[in-house]
Chains A and B, each alone.
Chain A
Amino acid sequence: MSDYNFAYLDEQTKRMIRRAILKGLAVPGYQVPFASREMPMPYGWGTGGVQVSAATLTPEDTLKVIDQGADDTTNAVSIRKFFERTACVATTEETANASVIQTRHRIPEAELSEDQILVYQVPIPEPLRFLEPRETETRKMHALQEYGLMHVKLYEDISQHGAIATAYAYPVKVEGRYVMDPSPIPKFDNPKMEMAAIQLFGAGREQRIYAVPPYTKVVSLDFEDYPFEASKADHSCDLCGAEDSYLDEVILDDAGNRMFVCSDTDYCRSRREAGHSGRLGEEAA
Chain B
Amino acid sequence: MQPQTQNTIYGGGFANPPVDSAHGFRAAMNAMARPGTIQQISGAVPLDGISSAAGALLLTLCDPETGVYLAPDVDSDDLRGWLTFHTGAPVVAAERADFALGRWAALMPLDRFRIGTAEYPDRSATLIVEMPELDAPNARLQGPGIKDSARLTLPELDAFQQNAMLYPLGVDFFFTSGSKLAALPRSTKVTAGE
Contacts and interface: CB of A to CB of B under 8 A. Distances in A.
B66 interface: yes
Contact of B19 (A55, A59, A140): A59
Contacts of A94: none
Interface string B144-169: 11110000000000000000000110
Query: Which of B122, B167, B186: most chain A Cβ within 10 A?
Result: B122
A106 B177 CA distance: 40
B77 interface: no
B18 interface: yes
Given A7-B18, A21-B29, A16 B65 contact: yes
A83 interface: no
A215 interface: yes
Nearest to A174: B144
A175 B167 CA distance: 11
Interface in B1-27: 17-19, 21-23, 25-26
Given A18-B61, A215-B147, A23 B17 contact: no
Interface residues of B, number: 39
Interface in A18-34: 18-28, 30, 32-33
A56 B29 contact: yes
| Interface size class of chain A, counting residues whose CB lies under 8 Å from the partner chain | 35 or more
A258 interface: no
Contacts of A177: 167-168
Contacts of A59: 19, 22
Nearest to A31: B122
Contact of A32 (B19, B122, B126, B172): B122
Contact of A22 (B22, B119, B121, B126): B126
8 shortest A-B CB distances, which residue pairs?
Answer: A213-B145, A26-B185, A6-B18, A143-B118, A23-B122, A216-B144, A213-B33, A213-B144
